[in-house]
Amino acid sequence: MAQAIKIYDTTLRDGTQGEGVSFTVAAKLRVAEKLDQFGVDYIEGGWPGSNPRDMAFFEEARALKLEHAKIAAFGSTCRAKVEAAEDPQLKLLLEAQTPVVTIFGKSWLLHVIEVIRTTAEENLRMIEASVRFLTDHGREVIYDAEHFFDGYADNPEYALQTLEAAQRGGAVNLTLCDTNGGKLVGDLKAAVTAVKAHFPGTAIGVHCHNDSGLGVAVSLAGIEAGASLVQGTINGVGERNGNANLTTIIPNLTLKMNCELNCGSQLEKLRDLSLFVDAMANRSSDTKAPFVGSSAFAHKGGVHADAAAKVKRSYEHIEPELVGNRTRILVSDMSGRSSIMMKAKEIGVEVDPRAPEMKDFLAQLKDLEYKGYEYEAADASFKLLLARFLKGKRTDFDLVGYRVMVSHHQGDRDACSEATVHLRINGEDHHTVSEASGPVDALAHSLSKALSPVFPAVSDIELVDYKVRILESQHGTDAIIRVQIETRDNITGETWGTVGASDNIIEATWEALVDAVEYKLLRDREGCA
């Protein structure tokens, strides 16, 4: 029989303690809804009383119509020598009106004596009394045994006594926390095994951090040792090096350990969930993240790509679609003919692998990459390159010339940029001028203005991202500069990437901008074909 595992998400509380991670109240509510739709069992919403944002979240969360998840408020045991019923923090936990309350207490005598400065006996009273106070008020209580594994290594008898106190108080789950994130797999697994033997029939959980780079590994080891609840965060956000990453834990539990999860049936939405949480936190997604990252199933080397095309599982440990991801073929100076074939097919270009031009195209591709071009994130530029080289596609317009000027006069707060673009379209000259605060914006506007009378659809696109990378920086101002642009079609919502490279940043920008509009015109023609 498959082991049933509960997923406890603490992105909205522990995750926000990570550097650069913050959610508005509205974002927290949207994330909670998304986690519920995914099938998470518990959503830890915050610490009542720690900040106004968390209290506002709990007030508004009462109106959420969650179908699967239970909202949990987080806090600590009562203070030393204070009755639980009189402790302000415990009162705030009740005021949050959540069905679940998670409280933490001390497991390590070092903390009991040196940090909260009380006795071992008083600490046990604080744990039991706090849990009982909350359960007596109808709350489902999960007890987080803070620093449990350090405490167990130091004094196993006392660490177990703290869990006994929480159990006497009525806790439904005893979660063992690797708060410092320093435990190795074998040590943690042995401790969880001992706790399970000491508390037969009691639900045990694990809460791990990633300070040793083992947050996922020790969490899975805890499950193997008998834990039935795992805490973590989406994308592994959290204090210091982060919490155990649920976007890695969940597919491993489901696909490789055959565990039964309420969210198991929603696994194909995992990548979408990962991207959504990053968007709500206004942070860039980790392209290298296992399972959900855009590079997780990307093949660059020609041998790998060829083997993956013949037998996907030869270089892919799972089917990418199971977690909402996909196979990607990257083209570079490492690519062979098979890589080009697969990449062309991926972006909708039919190419004859026996065409004599293929050898010359591969040579040209390698030469371009040597000069600084990179097509891994510039599918649009690659598609245009294929069309031009193998199909003889001509440009839709010819450049007569362009000029960009930046001026800054004394007394002005900001610089002003002016771009002039002179194009020849169907034998007619189009000469435009645009001003903007920056040279890239001015050049983009002037190009669009020159093209839109003949190609009005160009007005539907906008530049949404602009990245510059200096290659071989030891050459100083003579270094090659790579510019990558992301463009969005505001009508269809489609986005595409283009690239340019030069020792002149404006020239590299111009190349990427031209590819962006050429791709738009190509897409529109394909749609009408």
Residue 160's pLDDT band, with cuts at 50, 70 and 90, is: very high
Q: What is the CATH number of the domain that holds 403?
A: 3.30.160
Q: What is the pLDDT of residue 470?
A: 83
Residue 329's pLDDT band, with cuts at 50, 70 and 90, is: low
Lowest mean pLDDT among 21-25, 361-365, 409-413, 495-499: 409-413
Residue 386's pLDDT band, with cuts at 50, 70 and 90, is: confident
Q: What is the pLDDT of residue 408?
A: 76
Q: What is the pLDDT of residue 401?
A: 93
Summarize pLDDT for 302-319 with one digit per residue, the tens.
555 455 555 455 568 888
Tell me, yes or no, whether 101 lies in a domain.
yes
Q: Count helices and strands (H / E) in the chain.
A: 17, 16
Q: What is the pLDDT of residue 314?
A: 59
Let me know if 62 is exposed, middle or buried by CB neighbors in 10 A (0-12, 13-18, 19+).
exposed
For residue 256, give every residue at least 6 positions away whose Cβ sits within 8 Å of its Cβ, in sequence order, or none: none
Tell me, yes or no, whether 35 lies in a domain.
yes
Shared domain check, 319 and 247 = no
For residue 416, give every residue at least 6 positions away whose Cβ sits within 8 Å of its Cβ, in sequence order, or none: 406, 407, 408, 435, 437
Q: In sequence order, what are the beta bridge partners of 174?
A: 143, 204
User: In the chain, how many domains are there?
Assistant: 3
Shared domain check, 409 and 344 = no
More confident residue, 285 or 255: 255
Residue 233 has pLDDT above 90, yes or no: yes
Q: In sequence order, what are the beta bridge partners of 6?
A: 229
Tell me, yes or no, whether 523 lies in a domain.
no
How far is Cα 232 from Cα 149, in angstroms, rounded to an integer? 17
More confident residue, 390 or 228: 228
Q: What is the pLDDT of residue 84?
A: 92
Q: In sequence order, what are the beta bridge partners of 488?
A: 462, 495
List C-alpha distances in Å: 415 to 407, 412, 421, 437: 6, 7, 20, 6
CA angle 259, 260, 261 (to 5 degrees): 110
More confident residue, 204 or 501: 204
Cα of first residue to Cα of last residue in the chain, in angstroms, is: 55
Let me know if 350 is exposed, middle or buried by CB neighbors in 10 A (0-12, 13-18, 19+).
exposed
Calculate the CA 279 to chain-centre distance: 8
Shared domain check, 166 and 240 = yes
Q: What is the pLDDT of residue 131?
A: 97
Rounded average pLDDT over 84-89: 94
Tell me, yes or no, whether 283 lies in a domain.
no
Q: What is the pLDDT of residue 236?
A: 95
Shared domain check, 84 and 30 = yes
Tell me, yes or no, whether 343 lies in a domain.
yes
Tell me, yes or no, whether 231 lies in a domain.
yes
Q: What is the pLDDT of residue 331?
A: 61
Q: What is the pLDDT of residue 368?
A: 78
Shared domain check, 79 and 30 = yes
- Which residue range(s) make up the domain with 257? 6-261
Residue 476 has pLDDT above 60, yes or no: no
Shared domain check, 201 and 325 = no
Shared domain check, 210 and 123 = yes
Rounded average pLDDT over 294-306: 64
Summarize pLDDT for 171-185 with one digit per residue, the tens.
999 999 999 999 999
Average pLDDT, the chain: 87
Give the end of a domain, one of 410, 430, 454: 454
Shared domain check, 84 and 175 = yes
Q: What is the CATH number of the domain that holds 218?
A: 3.20.20.70
Which of 9, 23, 25, 91 minimizes the C-alpha distance to 58?
25
Q: What is the pLDDT of residue 471?
A: 77
Give the end of a domain, one of 438, 454, 470: 454
Residue 336's pLDDT band, with cuts at 50, 70 and 90, is: low
Confirm if 503 and 372 have CB atoms less than 8 A apart.
no
Residue 136 has pLDDT above 80, yes or no: yes
Residue 350's pLDDT band, with cuts at 50, 70 and 90, is: low
Other Cβ atoms less than 10 A from the Cβ of 526: the count is 9
Tell me, yes or no, whether 290 lies in a domain.
no
List C-alpha distances in Å: 386 to 298, 347, 369, 380: 20, 11, 15, 10
Lowest mean pLDDT among 48-62, 89-103, 189-203, 384-398: 384-398
Q: What is the pLDDT of residue 347?
A: 55
Q: Is the pTM of this model over 0.85?
A: no
Tell me, yes or no, whether 271 lies in a domain.
no
How far is Cα 271 from Cα 317, in angstroms, rounded to an integer? 16
Shared domain check, 310 and 437 = no
Shared domain check, 219 and 310 = no
Q: What is the pLDDT of residue 529?
A: 43
Shared domain check, 84 and 153 = yes
More confident residue, 129 or 388: 129
Give the end of a domain, one of 261, 286, 317: 261
Summarize pLDDT for 5-16 with one digit per residue, the tens.
999 999 999 999
Rounded average pLDDT over 40-45: 96
Shared domain check, 36 and 128 = yes
